[in-house]
Structure 1
Amino acid sequence: MSAGESVDQLLRRVSPGAYDTFESYEALLQALAGSRLWMLLWNGQAGSPDAQYGNMEVAGYGYAPCATSAQELAASGWSRAHEVVGGRDIAAALFPDRWGIWLNPHAPGGGVGIPWLDLRRVAVGLDQLPAGPLSIGEPTLEIPQFYALLTQNAHLTPAVRSLRRAWVRPALGVPYLAIGLELYDSSPASVQTARRMMAQSVAAVPEGLPVSSVAMADDYDPVAMWLRRQSRPFFDRDAQPRAGYGAPGPQAGGFGYGYPRPF
């Protein structure tokens, strides 16, 4: 496929019944980030305080319907107002409320939905966050030296409250080990010391093994969500004073997640 393909051209590759590959879907997301969308307004006019996007629910998830061009808007027969918005801008506006967008719901086959997790990737940067759907599970790697060094360094880093781990397989790209970091606070000093701890610890990672950090307080990170539900800390500074693992406590902002990067 060429780098210049439009959203409408790429939609033909990922429409129901004509699905090509994850690469085609990634290309569609990339095109959306640099394109405009015609958002359908259920109430109000574009720019007015009472403007409200249309909404639809598919499989229990919310989506805001839109057209991908003026021609598609005309073909939809939409008779109410609309608002033209950049793809990255609408992604940033909708994903925090866990809303996706539905492209051309009037089209044959019903159009294509972009879930909120992928809108987050569009808003933050497709090269910063791994391609979903993600397969996440417990790591089975035998790397005791790394875990021992990481635990030792965590003991020496007061900002770190707990550490968790997961093995992540993106839809595209190489699998990697994710380390979930829970900090006591999100101050720049705490974040910096946690970064330094990771940088010191990855020296014990076997060559060729990608490692990435995950902020446990990130409510939008699917790896952090999995870690909170499915894992227990392998380092927990507060484990002795309390009755069990995983009790709620102060949460902190942090690094987000993505393809492994230098620490």
Structure 2
Amino acid sequence: MSASGTAAAGHVEQTLRQVTPGRYDAYEALLRALATPTSGQVWMLLWHGQAGSPDAQYGHMDVDGHGYAPCVTSAQELSASGWNRSYEVVDALDVARVLYPDHYGLWLNPHAPGGGVGIPWLDLRRIATGLDRQPAGPLRVSEPAIEIPHFYALLTQNAHRTPAVRSLRRAWVQPAFGAPYLAIGLDVYDTSPTAVDSVRAMMRQSVGAVPDGLPVSTVAMSDEFDPVAMWLRASARPFYDREAHAAPAVQNPPGGYGYPPAGGGY
């Protein structure tokens, strides 16, 4: 292994050693290490084929009903694992882009004492699309308890004047790491640049009614991979519906929505 490869493995493994249950700050540091090109390399275990060949296929693990592709974090860990098939060394960023659309996670060093560390597919999506663009999970999502009727009234009024908007939903999101915030789910008819600009203008015209210090974010209801959008589609009745058709509410899902049970991922 080259000196740069050794340094890359050391960076990932240094952060990996700090990850323990409940240490979401350490887990976020691990995600950042994996998201860094070159220094975030992993050794993917190939069940079929050779590295770079068309028939190459990653291995598979099933943990609590969730699929993961196993990997190791260095040549030393590869040797310790006893893996006797082929492998390929690749940036975890590239692996994340391949795995998350199929709802596959990444499992680091499954041979290690304690079973290694699993990265759920939702966090691979964060790696692939930008860690700072998505909240840190597992998420606790619920109906908002804070009373801000003026904001909702103004937002509803502005939405009615914005033809691109079909409906609006709301949720209170508490990330595992970071400040909680109010999420507004946007269901739109049109995603053309003009329509998107009109929806952004609607939000700008409305957020002035939000109390100081209350963070507000938006989420596209059409995003099939977003955990907040997943919760909103399943559990939130629209507070504005242009077509006056609201789906019946269902019971809120338990725990961190969209993530495996505690112990299955961290």
Length-normalised TM-score, structure 1: 0.87
* Uncovered stretches (5+) of structure 1, i.e. residues with no partner: 248-263
Matched, 1:96 2:98: no
- Cα RMSD after superposing both structures: 1.5
1:22–1:5 Cα change, 3 Å = farther
Q: Does 1:148 align with 2:149?
A: no
C-alpha distance in structure 2 between counterparts of 1:5 and 1:79, whole Å: 23
Q: Secondary structure at 1:74's aligned position in 2?
A: helix
SS of aligned partner of 2:114 = coil
Tell me if 1:168 matches 2:170. no
- The answer as to 2:15 corresponding to 1:22 is no
Aligned pair partner of 1:70 in 75, 97, 100: 75
CA change 1:136–1:19 in 2 (3 A) is: closer
Deviation for aligned residue 1:20: 6.0
Does residue 40 of the first structure (1) align with residue 45 of the second (2)? yes
SS at match of 2:132: coil
**Larger helix share, 1 or 2:** 2
Query: In structure 2, the residue corresponding to 1:127 is in which secondary structure?
Result: helix
In 2, Cα distance between equivalents of 1:144 and 1:49: 57
Identical residues among aligned pairs (%) = 68
Structure 1 residue ranges, 4+ long, deviating more than 2 angstroms after superposition = none
Kindly state the Cα deviation for residue 185 of structure 1 after the two structures are TM-superposed.
2.2
1:138 aligns with 2:143: yes
CA distance in 2, matches of 1:162, 1:19: 39
Residue 5 (structure 1) shift: 6.9
Distance in 1, matches of 2:247 and 2:87, equals: 46
2-structure distance, mates of 1:122, 1:95: 10
C-alpha distance in 2 between matches for 1:116 and 1:20: 19
Deviations 1:89-119 (A, max 9, x none): 1111111110000001111111110000111
1:246 matches 2:247: yes
Q: Give secondary structure in 1 for the equivalent of 2:51.
A: coil
TM norm structure 2: 0.86
Name the counterpart of 2:91: 86
Q: What is the total number of aligned residue pairs between the two structures?
A: 237
Query: Are the aligned partners of 1:13 and 1:20 in contact in 2 as well (CA < 8 Å)?
Result: no
